[in-house]
Amino acid sequence: MNHKGNRESRVSKDTKDTKDSKDSRVVRSAKTHQTDKKNQPHHSGHADQHAGKFDRRPSSQSPSQPKSSSSQSRSHAPVGARDKAPNRHEERMEYRTARRSQLHAQGAKNPHAAVNTQRLEGSAGADSPGAERIQKVLAREGLGSRRDLERLIYDGHVVVNAVVAQLGDKVVPGDKIIFQGREILFDKPAGTPQILVYHKPPGEICSQKDPEDRPSVFDRIPQCSEGRWVMVGRLDFNSCGLLMFTNSGELANQLMHPKYQIEREYAVRIFGELSDEHIDRLLKGIRLEDGFAKFKSVVFGGGEGKNRWYNVVLTEGRNREIRRMFEAVGFTVSRLMRIRFGTVQLPSTLLQGKRALLPDNQVVKLMDLLNQQNDAVEASSVKMHIHSQKMQARKKS
C-alpha cells in the first residue's frame, strides 16, 4: 500500500509540474506577443485591409475564433465535395466582354468618338474598293506587328468612324481611325510596291558593311524614292545573277518565307556529268548539316568539254545550299547563276552590274502568285487540322 501511495503521489507531482511548465510557457509567449506588438509600427488600416484580403474565413467568424466543426470536416472531405476553384480563362473572357461593352457605351473613352454601337458596314465592307484590314493599315504605319495589333483591336483600343472596331473589320480611304487616342490618316490604299532587279556579278557581297571592305551590291543601288530597299534573298560572294530589292518589307518576307514555296531557278556549271542515280538522289533529297534538302527539278542544259550545265529549281534559300548538295554527290560547282525568282526572270538584256525597275504588271503577277500560295498553305493547314481532329476522335472512341 505504501508503494502504491508513493507512486500516486509521484504521478500527481509530475502532472502538476507539467501543468506549471505549460502555464509558464503560455505566459512567456503572451508576453512575447505583447512586446512584438508594441515594437511594430501602427498601421491599423492597412493591417485590416490585408487581413480582409487574405483571410478566407467567413466575415462572421473572427480570426481569433477557432474553426467550426463543419469547416474542419470540410478540409477532410473528398475533392469532388469541395468547391471548385474559379476558372481563370472564364474570368478573363468575362472581363473582356464587360470591357468591350463599356467601350461601346463610352465611345472607347475617346473625345472624338460619339456613342454608336452599330457595326462597321458601308465604308468598311469587304466588297468596297480599296478596303484593307485594319491591322494591315496600322502595321504599314509602323505601329506594331499584325499579331500585336490584332490583340489591341480585340481589346477595343481601335475606333473607326466612332465605332469600336472588331477583328475582321476593314477600312477604306477616308475612314477616321483612332488608335489609342491618336488619329491615323488613311487617305489612300497602299500602292503597288516597287521592285528593283539587279544583275549581280561575282565578287560582290550582299551586305552593307564588310570588315574586309569588299565591294557591295548596295554600292550600285540608287536611293529608294519611297521608303528603303529591302533585299529579297542573298547570293554568295562568288555567285551571280538575279537579285531583287523591294520597298515593301512584308512582300520581301513573304517571298523569302519557306512556307510559301516560291521557286528559285539556278543555272549550275559543274565539272563532269550527272548520272541518273545522282539526279535521283538530288530529287529525293540529301541530308545536310542543317537539315534535309532536295531539288524540285534537275534539267540538263548542255556544255562543252568536261563542263556541264544544269538548271535546278528549289523552294528555299539556305546558305550555299546548292554547292553543298552537289558536293554531297561528288561534284564541285564552278559557276552558279540565279536566273529566276518566282515569276521574275533575269532579263537577257540586263548586263552584270546593271539594275532596272520591274514593271507594275510583273509586280502584280508576282503578288498574285503569293496570294495563290497563301491560299494553298491555308487549305493545307485546314486539312491537317481536320485530320488531327479525326485521329483524336478515333483515339477517344
Do 136 and 252 belong together in one domain?
Answer: no
Identify the burial level of 39 via C-beta atoms within 10 angstroms of its C-beta, where 0-12 means exposed, 13-18 middle and 19 or more buried: exposed
Give the pairing of strands 333-341 and 307-314.
unpaired
What is the amino acid identity at position 29? Answer: S
Q: How far from 139 is each of 10, 132, 144, 192, 249, CA to CA, in Å? A: 90, 11, 5, 16, 11
**167 in the same domain as 206:** no
Instruction: Clarify whether residues 132 and 151 are in a common domain.
Output: yes
pLDDT of residue 328: 94
Rounded CA-CA distance 1/367 in Å is: 113
Domain-located, residue 39: no
15 or 167: whose pLDDT is higher? 167
- Mean pLDDT is lowest, of 56-60, 329-333, 374-378, for 56-60
- Bridge partners of 286, per DSSP, are 293
Tell me which residues are annotated as active site: 236
The Cα–Cα gap between 141 and 190 comes to 11
d(CA 16, CA 20) in angstroms, rounded, equals 6
Asked whether residue 393 is domain-assigned, the answer is no
DSSP 249: H
Is the confidence at residue 347, as pLDDT, over 90?
yes
Q: Are 200 and 235 in contact (CB under 8 A)?
A: yes
pLDDT of 384 > 80? The answer is no
Pair 354, 242: CB distance under 8 Å: no
Over the stretch 125-164, which tens digit does the pLDDT of each residue have? 445 556 788 888 887 665 767 778 888 998 889 999 988 9
- State the residue range of the domain holding 315: 195-375
User: How far is 65 from 94, CA to CA, in rounded Å?
Assistant: 36
Do 224 and 177 share a domain, yes or no? no
Same domain for 319 and 213?
yes
Query: Is residue 336 situated within a structural domain?
Result: yes
Least confident of 116-120, 214-218, 246-250: 116-120
**Is 284 within a domain?**
yes
Report if residue 129 sits inside a domain: yes
pTM: 0.55
Please report the sign of the dihedral spanned by the C-alpha atoms of residue 25, residue 29, residue 34, residue 36.
Answer: positive
| One domain, residues 121 and 243 | no
Structurally, how many domains does the chain consist of? 3
Residues 249/263, Cβ–Cβ less than 8 Å: no
**Are the C-beta atoms of 256 and 317 separated by less than 8 Å?**
yes
Q: Which amino acid is at 68?
A: S
Query: Has residue 254 been placed in a domain?
Result: yes
Provide the pLDDT for residue 388.
Answer: 79
What's the Cα-to-Cα distance from 215 to each of 198, 208, 239, 373, rounded to whole Å?
A: 15, 9, 14, 36
Geometric angle at alpha carbon 190, from 221 and 193, rounded to 5°: 25
Q: Do 166 and 224 lie in a common domain?
A: no
- 132 plus 203 within the same structural domain: no
Our CA angle for 84, 89, 92, nearest 5°, is: 120
Quote the cell numbers at residue 394.
478515333
The one-character DSSP state at 131 is: -
Cα-Cα end-to-end distance for the chain: 81
On whether both 322 and 237 belong to a single domain, the answer is yes
C-alpha span between 384 and 387 (Å, rounded):
5
| Each residue's pLDDT tens digit, 272-319 | 999 999 999 999 999 999 889 999 999 999 888 889 999 999 998 888
- Give start and end residues of each alpha helix (H) in the chain: 2-39, 44-54, 69-75, 88-106, 134-140, 146-154, 249-256, 276-284, 321-328, 360-396
Q: What is the pLDDT of residue 11?
A: 44
